[in-house]
A and B are shown apart, each in its own frame.
Chain A
Amino acid sequence: MRLKLEKRPEPSLLMLVAAPVASVLLTMIIGVVVFDLIGIKGAKAVMDIFLTPILSPVKWQDVAAKAAPLIIIALGLSVGNRAQVWNIGAEGQYVIGALAAAGVGIAAGASGGPDVLLLMIAAGMIGGAAWGGIPALLRTRFNVNEILSSLMLTYVALQVLGFMVGGPWKDPNGRNFPATAPLADNQTLPIIVPGTTIHLGVAVAVILPFVFWILMSRSVFGFQIRVVGSAPNAARHGGFDAGRTIWLAMLIGGGMAGLAGSLEFSGMLHKIDLGFPSGYGFTAIIVSFLGRLNPIGCLVAGIVMAVTYVGGQMAQTSVHIPNSTAGIFQAMMLFFILASDILVRYRVRLLPSAKTVGAGE
């Protein structure tokens, strides 16, 4: 017997929804088993990482704060991924977006209010889009692989951040610590749930998936992105310009990452230091895949991923495992979802062994 893969005419809808759910469940089960094997209370660890943040309302604000940037970045990346444009530099675009917002804040001096905040956020989007535009330019002009260029630019962005917060923008009252001065109250995003850290950016992260969903399913642009991704040859014959798709994908990906960076800065952290880039841009790539490149899927996946972040911190104190252990679970979820992709797109058939069919593997 051997396995044969048969392409499904349409992706299986059942598998499309079942696969992410199954991935999360499998990850939890394997987590319990493996942790028990290495002498850590597996059930307790998995419970803390996946369920405790959901079951304890005091943790909801932390989940919301962590989910917001992941969702916003993942939305933008999903557009590119759908069109087979691989922007993996969202982390850098996020950083440049936050820096652009900080620049506006500093330039505004003591003035604040809604118009300054809007300017900061617009600057963040433009900054992120500009950083994402570099790989687009290099790809369309010189055929440079955008995976490699966007990745490299992330590490350039981190150094730009290090230079700005340690040099020109260093807080003069900050005891020589490399960080920008904290934003004045009139330059921070309003808190929408009194008594919590839930800021306006969280609301943006809840609304945007629906905007993207309409954009992707109902507009010519969304149609173009889907066609370019699923049938590049048809797209070319249909007159869709490949170069324009690359530009749009990178600008939207970068713009959303920049938006997330400026919201995180103005709504959550209120200053930029060397710890500002916390890997959201990379984790958002996982979110986008876990959410099946679907805007509503990104919303759900962003929350799941945020839960594991918060849960990882809780497990650190309850079962004494390092914070980054949550990464094992995040990666496992992605491994399973990627592995299950094949069940969505293909049907697995068992065939009698065919030794005469030449050299296969």
Chain B
Amino acid sequence: MSPEYIIAAIVTIVGLTTPILLAGLGELVVEKSGVLNLGVEGMMLVGAISGFGVTVLTFSPWLGVLGAAAGGAVASMLFAVLVLQLNSNQVATGLALTIFGTGLSSLLGLSFTGRIIVPFLSVFPDALAKNPIGRLIFGYSPIVYFALIMVPAVYWFLKSTRAGLILRAVGENDHSAHSIGYSVVMVRYAAIAFGGAMAGIGGAYFSMVITPMWAEKMTAGRGWIALALVVFAGWRTGRLLAGAYFFGFLMWLELFAKANGFGTTLPFLQVIPSQFWAAMPYVMTIVALTIISARGTAGSNAPACLGRPFLPST
């Protein structure tokens, strides 16, 4: 393996990782507030078409990213109203959001099919981004750096801010948080909106960076990997970053096994089919979840109220 090859592989892995890292960070905050939103895939698709559409109309990828965040957040509000205001079942509502988002994005995409935009790539000067080492550091879309900045930001928010503390309290024990005067519903609205915005930007990475055009269902199930990622990380921000890159590496292995096989470079991997790598994130998530669950809730980072509707007893 030549150095150029390894650099190309790393760049690919960063690209594979970024959407699930963004959507995963959003869903982490949502789940930390005690809500399970299974609509990630749908919100990513709405974000993908919103980001693409706004970019086509305004010629500004920056506005496109904002549009993607807005699109994802608006879609998430549909879920939020049902779950928070009407106490609907979170599992069913989240699944419906995914089906809804898939259909809505296809419909909105009708008028954008066949349009092409300039991919939203590195904004650094060519002198920095063109040489191999520079490419590793400066060669990415601004969305990649945004995702990486959001990791410490979310970590700091959850751990060290008052708002983050309240959010975690709401997810840990909604009734106690309610009884000391915090609005469980408002906190969860904010968390769900953030999750929607992040999923939207993650989806836009597909339509604005990877393939700068719109295609139906283009996020190809990555929303479900993002959901797995949050669980795999044990609801911890730092582990979410590591897990995202690990899953990105597995996705790269899958692509590699599909495209050229390991015959010449790593013969001992040749016997493993590409589907093995594709299934690995899910298998490892189940294993991780089993270990977390078997240890019991004490010391676990899993929010205690996850998925439970909040009915204040008045």
**Residues on A facing B (Cβ under 8 Å):** 38, 86, 88, 138, 142-145, 147-149, 151-153, 155-156, 159-160, 162-163, 166-167, 282-283, 285-286, 289, 320-332, 334-335, 338-339, 341-342, 357-361
Note all chain B residues with C-beta closer than 8 A to A335: 78, 82, 93, 96, 100
User: A145 contacts B293, CB within 8 Å?
Assistant: yes
- Closest B residue, CB atoms, query A330: B99
A and B contact pairs by CB, cutoff 8 A, 26 listed:
A88-B95, A143-B296, A145-B289, A148-B231, A152-B231, A152-B285, A155-B228, A155-B279, A155-B282, A159-B279, A163-B275, A163-B276, A166-B275, A286-B96, A321-B110, A322-B106, A322-B107, A322-B109, A324-B102, A327-B103, A328-B100, A331-B96, A334-B99, A341-B86, A357-B314, A361-B186
A163-B110 Cα distance, complex, nearest whole Å: 34
- Distance in Å: Cβ of A145 to nearest Cβ of chain B: 7
Note all chain B residues with C-beta closer than 8 A to A327: 99-100, 102-103
Going nearest first, the 5 A-B pairs with the smallest beta carbon separation are A327-B103, A331-B100, A338-B88, A328-B103, A159-B279
Judged by a CB distance under 8 angstroms, whether B184 is at the interface is yes
- Distance in Å: Cβ of A45 to nearest Cβ of chain B: 10
User: A155 contacts B88, CB within 8 Å?
Assistant: no
A38-B312 Cα distance, complex, nearest whole Å: 40
Judged by a CB distance under 8 angstroms, whether B211 is at the interface is no
User: B314 contacts A138, CB within 8 Å?
Assistant: no
Given contacts A147-B91, A286-B95, A331-B96, contact A153 B103 (CB under 8 A): no
Given contacts A143-B294, A153-B282, A321-B110, contact A88 B289 (CB under 8 A): no
A332-B273 Cα distance, complex, nearest whole Å: 40
User: B286 contacts A149, CB within 8 Å?
Assistant: yes
Note all chain A residues with C-beta closer than 8 A to B184: 361
Name 6 extra pairs, CB < 8 A, besides A152-B228, A289-B89, A324-B106: A145-B289, A282-B95, A285-B92, A286-B95, A341-B89, A361-B184
What mask results when residues 58 to 91 of chain B are scored 1 for a CB within 8 Å of chain A, else 0? 0000000000000000000010001000111101
- Closest B residue, CB atoms, query A288: B92
What mask results when residues 206 to 224 of chain B are scored 1 for a CB within 8 Å of chain A, else 0? 0000000000110001001
User: A143 contacts B181, CB within 8 Å?
Assistant: no
- Distance in Å: Cβ of A338 to nearest Cβ of chain B: 4
- Closest B residue, CB atoms, query A336: B82
Judged by a CB distance under 8 angstroms, whether B301 is at the interface is no
A361-B150 Cα distance, complex, nearest whole Å: 30
Note all chain A residues with C-beta closer than 8 A to B183: 359, 361
- Distance in Å: Cβ of A15 to nearest Cβ of chain B: 14
A162-B257 Cα distance, complex, nearest whole Å: 14
Judged by a CB distance under 8 angstroms, whether B142 is at the interface is no
User: B93 contacts A86, CB within 8 Å?
Assistant: no
How big is the B interface, by class?
35 or more
- Distance in Å: Cβ of A173 to nearest Cβ of chain B: 22
Q: Which of B91, B106, B231, B312 contacts A360 (CB 8 A)?
A: B312
Judged by a CB distance under 8 angstroms, whether B278 is at the interface is yes
A86-B89 Cα distance, complex, nearest whole Å: 11
Note all chain B residues with C-beta closer than 8 A to A332: 100
User: A324 contacts B279, CB within 8 Å?
Assistant: no
User: Interface centre among A143, A148, A341, by most B CB within 10 Å?
Assistant: A148
Judged by a CB distance under 8 angstroms, whether B255 is at the interface is no
Given contacts A142-B290, A289-B89, A332-B100, contact A359 B181 (CB under 8 A): yes
What mask results when residues 275 to 309 of chain B are scored 1 for a CB within 8 Å of chain A, else 0? 11011001101100110011010000000001100
- Distance in Å: Cβ of A201 to nearest Cβ of chain B: 24
**Residues on B facing A (Cβ under 8 Å):** 36, 38, 78, 82, 86-89, 91-93, 95-97, 99-100, 102-104, 106-107, 109-110, 178, 181, 183-186, 216-217, 221, 224, 227-228, 231, 273, 275-276, 278-279, 282-283, 285-286, 289-290, 293-294, 296, 306-307, 312, 314
- Distance in Å: Cβ of A56 to nearest Cβ of chain B: 23
Note all chain B residues with C-beta closer than 8 A to A86: 91
Note all chain A residues with C-beta closer than 8 A to B181: 358-359
A144-B293 Cα distance, complex, nearest whole Å: 5
User: A326 contacts B186, CB within 8 Å?
Assistant: no
A283-B95 Cα distance, complex, nearest whole Å: 9
A10-B96 Cα distance, complex, nearest whole Å: 27
User: B107 contacts A334, CB within 8 Å?
Assistant: no
Note all chain B residues with C-beta closer than 8 A to A148: 227, 231, 285, 289
- Distance in Å: Cβ of A340 to nearest Cβ of chain B: 9
Note all chain A residues with C-beta closer than 8 A to B109: 322
A338-B93 Cα distance, complex, nearest whole Å: 8
Q: Which of A142, A167, A283, A341 contacts B273 (CB 8 A)?
A: A167
A339-B86 Cα distance, complex, nearest whole Å: 6
A235-B189 Cα distance, complex, nearest whole Å: 34
User: B103 contacts A324, CB within 8 Å?
Assistant: yes
Given contacts A142-B293, A151-B224, A163-B273, contact A338 B92 (CB under 8 A): yes
User: B91 contacts A325, CB within 8 Å?
Assistant: no
User: A328 contacts B275, CB within 8 Å?
Assistant: no
User: B290 contacts A156, CB within 8 Å?
Assistant: no
Note all chain A residues with C-beta closer than 8 A to B217: 324
A286-B93 Cα distance, complex, nearest whole Å: 9
- Closest A residue, CB atoms, query B296: A143
- Distance in Å: Cβ of B42 to nearest Cβ of chain A: 8
Note all chain B residues with C-beta closer than 8 A to A88: 38, 91, 95
- Distance in Å: Cβ of A19 to nearest Cβ of chain B: 12
Note all chain B residues with C-beta closer than 8 A to A324: 102-103, 106, 216-217
- Distance in Å: Cβ of A207 to nearest Cβ of chain B: 27
- Closest A residue, CB atoms, query B294: A142
A289-B278 Cα distance, complex, nearest whole Å: 31
Note all chain A residues with C-beta closer than 8 A to B92: 285-286, 289, 334, 338
User: Interface centre among B97, B283, B293, by most A CB within 10 Å?
Assistant: B293
- Distance in Å: Cβ of B105 to nearest Cβ of chain A: 8
User: B88 contacts A341, CB within 8 Å?
Assistant: yes
A159-B283 Cα distance, complex, nearest whole Å: 11
